[in-house]
A and B are shown apart, each in its own frame.
Chain A
Amino acid sequence: MKKDWPLWEVFVRSKNGLEHRHFGSLHAADAAMALENARDVYTRRNEGVSIWVVESKYITASNPEDNGEMFEPAQSKVYRHPTFYDLPDEVKHM
């Protein structure tokens, strides 16, 4: 019987009011152990107040090779930005 511990991704909220951020990964047999290991590996100096762990295999990631199709539409739509609109200088607070 030989089965390696799966890989987990660790997300940490550094303080209330901030979002969880990806901190890194680690191996653990189950979620409870992943949480404990995440505490020991990533929060030895008060780096966090909340931890999420998720097994890496459940993450679906975009492929950088598709970045053209994936993100191009955002590039060409300049009218989504406030600077696209020409207003006279006299208009204040806008």
Chain B
Amino acid sequence: MSEKEVKNLEVIFEARIERDDKIEPKDWMPEKYRKTHIRQISQHAHSEIVGMLPEGNWITRAPSLRRKAALLAKVQDEGGHGLYLYAAAETLGISREEMYEQLHTGKAKYSSIFNYPAITWADIGAIGWLVDGAAIINQVALCSTSFGPYARAMVRICKEESFHQRQGYEIMLTLCRGTEEQKAMAQDALNRWWWPSLMMFGPRDEDSPHTAQSMKWKLKRKTNDELRQQFIDQTVPQADLLGISVPDPELKFNSETGHYDFGEIDWDEFWQVVKGHGPCNKERMEARVGAWEGGAWVRDAAMAYAEKQEKRKVAKAS
């Protein structure tokens, strides 16, 4: 294809997105669109899968059967979310194995929030309330993204997420209505998870060079700072209802703007964790790589069994 022809296709492509046409896997698309989507969708998938680790750790230690069943169902959902997203990325021509490889070698990133440890049971409450809460805000914005398979996966995921957040908030509510120690545990969890949750929306708009392109492709419908503000505005009243306080002395409702003003995020910490120096980066990767390598014989055995069965069927038929 000549350069002029490609330019032409690009113009048609941009116009399609402009009028809210969805792009499907076999449609022509600019290489950059394909690459950006592979990167974002696979990172999103990795986040769902790695996100199972801090919570999975608490399944056997949940305080009641009701809590255990709910947590188990939530963690299973996250595994499902990862699978929907991996499948969406595969439609763009990358294989599942390539994506795992990128994750395991550190070439692909996942959400930094999962590099923080879940130390107490209250952390499970805080994760559902804050981390899933922040994820929902990001994901609702993506339900109308331009790439069809990604948008469809997002719609399905959003339907499932609201139970995650509600079960987390219910845990917090129970703790806050419990003994002094239980309430202190809830406060401690909020103290540790608040700032990392705000970091989930990514760097400030002025430090986010891809925002303009992503907005154009509707891969982003709102900027990082807009989404972060939305999260703060809806979460602070929920903390008030619990009777615990958000660990930000500068947090204050601004009646002029109708939004909460808030303090500066520790961006050094943010970049440290992104670069792999968070409290659990190493542990998370060891768990993932361990599961992949430890499961290799199972995958091989299943494939060998399938081939044997297939041969038998053919032999019988002939």
Interface residues of B in 71-129 (CB under 8 A from A): 73, 76-77, 80, 83-84, 87, 90, 95-97
Q: Report whether B24 and A64 are in contact in the complex, using a CB–CB cutoff of 8 Å.
A: yes
Residue A70, interface by CB 8 Å: no
Q: Which of A42-88 contact B (CB under 8 A)?
A: 44-45, 61, 63-65
Are A65 and B96 in contact (CB-based, < 8 A)? no
**How far, in Å, is B104 (CB) from chain A's closest CB?**
15
B90/A7 in contact, CB under 8 A: yes
B188-244 interface with A by 8 A CB criterion: none
Residues of A within 8 A of B28 (CB): 64-65
Least distance between B208 CB and chain A CB atoms (Å): 31
Interface code B26-64, partner A: CB below 8 Å = 1, 0 otherwise? 111000000000000000000000000000000000000
The stretch of B166-174, B179-187, B296-304 that contacts the partner chain = B296-304
Is B65 close to A, CB under 8 A? no
In angstroms, Cα B96 to Cα A27, docked, is 9
Inter-subunit contact B304/A1 (CB<8 Å): yes
Mask, B128-168, CB within 8 Å of A = 1, is 00000000000000000000000011000000100000000
- Inter-chain contact A24/B306, CB cutoff 8 Å: no
Tell me which residues across on chain B come within 8 A of A64, comparing CB atoms.
Answer: 24, 26-28
Name B298's closest neighbour in chain A (CB-CB): A29
Of all chain B residues, the one with the shortest Cβ separation from A9 is B87
Task: Say whether B253 faces chain A, with CB atoms less than 8 Å apart.
Answer: no
Which residues of chain A are within 8 angstroms of B27 by Cβ–Cβ distance?
64
Judge whether B302 and A29 touch: CB under 8 Å.
yes
Nearest CB of B to A71, in Å: 14
Which of B26, B96, B306 has a CB less than 8 Å from the CB of A61?
Answer: B26
Residues of B in contact with A (beta carbons under 8 Å apart): 24, 26-28, 73, 76-77, 80, 83-84, 87, 90, 95-97, 152-153, 160, 299-300, 302-306, 309-310
- Residues of A near any B CB (own CB < 8 A): 1-5, 7, 24-27, 29-30, 33, 40-41, 44-45, 61, 63-65
